[in-house]
Chains A and B, each alone.
Chain A
Amino acid sequence: MSGVPELLVLRLLSGREMYGYEIVKAVRLVTGEAIGFGEGVIYPVLHGLEENGAVKAKRKSVNGRERVYYAVTAKGKRRLEHLSGEWQRVSTGVNSALGDLTKEPQNA
């Protein structure tokens, strides 16, 4: 499942800029809580994407709270397209394999 956290984060950030807590809540919402993870691990993912130039971070003071908002960059959009393509390819392959497995008992 390598690249899945990056894929989800980039997909969510392609809609609008968000801060970490918002991203975690959005991931839970869009995946129907199918993906479980400690929420604190979202930050290394975001920082890694920032270091690679896929997102940019901006500090904002909102209601006396210091928020770090993330927005996807042009490089991040290209990365999202690449990861989406990879995921579609893997997903199709796995679905195909699972389809073959379900047919197998009928052939035997």
Chain B
Amino acid sequence: MPSTQFESLRLELLRGGVAPVYVERTILELEEHYADLTSDALAAGHGAEDAAENARAALGSEHAIIAAVLSRPELLEWSTRWPTVALCLRSAATIGVLPGLPLVFCIEHRPELARWGAAVGVAAAVVGAILAGLNFMIALA
């Protein structure tokens, strides 16, 4: 099986929730196995095409390999093995992080917030002064 064909196997395993460390190991070992099979077939006098075809057949179908990996829960990511626990932990983490986000935003944008506060203060003072002036003029009239 040429290594380009292992790419679809890799993606299927990742999509199935297999731990990335075992996905990479499986691909590496399958590539080595394929290379061993072809070199043995070539040494036995087969042509390159025959050797490749025999190696593909000997490794088994991609579907069978995927099924064999997915049938082993110990090779899956913990979030795939225990989806309810993962969902609860993610929710708890989100709830924990949300109240802190505005505070983090304020700390990170202190200069902008200071300028904004000063501008709002000046604007309020100007508007207040105008309103007070108008109020004074109404009282005089």
Q: B74's contact among A51, A57, A68, by CB below 8 Å, is which? A: A51
The size class of the interface chain A forms with chain B is: 20 to 34
Q: Which residues of A contact B36 (CB under 8 A)?
A: 21
Partner among B26, B32, B60, B71 whose Cβ is within 8 Å of the Cβ of A21 = B32
Q: Is B68 an interface position by the 8 A CB rule?
A: yes
Interface residues of A in 28-52 (CB under 8 A from B): 37-41, 43-45, 47-48, 51-52
Report if A38-B60 is in contact (Cβ < 8 Å); known contacts: A44-B71, A47-B75, A51-B75: yes
**Contact with A41, one of B32, B60, B74 (Cβ below 8 angstroms):** B60
> Is B10 part of the binding interface, using a Cβ–Cβ cutoff of 8 Å?
no
Q: Is the CB of B65 within 8 A of A67?
A: no
Number of interface residues of B (CB under 8 A): 23
Minimum CB–CB distance from A77 to chain B (whole Å) comes to: 19
| Nearest opposing residue in chain A for B70, CB measure | A44
A residues near B74, Cβ cutoff 8 Å: 48, 51-52
Q: What 1/0 flags go to B44-76 for Cβ under 8 Å of A? A: 000000000000001111001100110110110
User: Would A67 and B32 count as touching, CB distance under 8 A?
Assistant: yes
Q: Is the CB of B25 within 8 A of A41?
A: no
Contact A47 B22 (CB under 8 A): yes
The answer, yes or no, to whether B28 is at the interface (CB within 8 Å) is yes
B24 to chain A, nearest CB (A): 11
Residue in chain B with minimal CB distance to A52: B74
CB A54 to nearest CB in B, in angstroms, measures 11
Binding site for B on A (CB under 8 A): 19-21, 24, 37-41, 43-45, 47-48, 51-52, 57, 65-68
The 6 closest A-B pairs by CB, nearest first: A38-B60, A41-B68, A40-B59, A51-B74, A40-B65, A21-B36
Sample 20 A-B pairs with CB under 8 A, ordered by A number.
Answer: A19-B29, A20-B29, A21-B32, A37-B60, A38-B61, A38-B64, A38-B65, A39-B59, A39-B60, A40-B30, A40-B60, A40-B65, A40-B68, A41-B60, A41-B68, A43-B65, A44-B69, A51-B74, A57-B25, A66-B28
